[in-house]
Amino acid sequence: MKYLIVGLGNIGAEYAHTRHNIGFDVLDAIAKEKDEKFEVERLAAVARIKFKGRTFILIKPSTYMNLSGKAVKYWIQAEKIPLENVLVVTDDIALDPGALRLRPRGSHGGHNGLENIIESLGTSDFARLRFGIGNDYSRGRQADFVLSSWKTDEKKMLAERIDQAVEMVKSFGTLGTANTMNLYNNK
């Protein structure tokens, strides 16, 4: 059983560990836990891990956020992964910082990366793990906010919430979307 786990973010040091790159940070934590390294491959940095008899192909698209769909579509086809085994880890301004929500499908909610994935795949029927980044910004300052670093007081909860997200990703691959939602959503 193969699973494609997509972490959304932007490449480049200037974007590292910003709110918008939380998808990259979650995938980095999964790879680190399994002592795996990301290698640059076609359209993404890729790491492969084994967990409970399953293969998780972790990708961090190198296409920048707004063109993430190109990488996702390529890796789904290259690895022959069914849509029900695809999980996209993304930031979400509609959720409080650190809140985690797994959904089996949904709209892009104004997120350019999700919008491009939906457009590229021609469907919104793929799971997404939404990681809350909050919405503490002034009118017209959304881009600055999502590309900003976490506040000092938020960093304390961040490691714990990333660990929780890692557990949710592993659960997605072993227990499925519905069971993972029942176990972890609203906690």
pLDDT per residue over 85-94, tens digit each?
A: 999 999 999 9
The CATH homologous superfamily to which domain 2-184 belongs is Peptidyl-tRNA hydrolase (3.40.50.1470)
Number of helices (H), then strands (E), belonging to the chain: the values are 6, 7
20 classed as catalytic: yes
Q: What is the residue whose two structure tokens read 């972790």?
A: 58
CA distance 30 to 169: 9
- Reading the block at residue 172, the tokens are 């997605």
CA distance 163 to 182: 18
- Reading the block at residue 69, the tokens are 């769909």
Report domain extents, the chain.
2-184
Q: Over 90: is that where the pLDDT of 64 sits?
A: no
Instruction: Name the catalytic one among 17, 20, 108, 111.
Output: 20
Q: Over 70: is that where the pLDDT of 58 sits?
A: yes
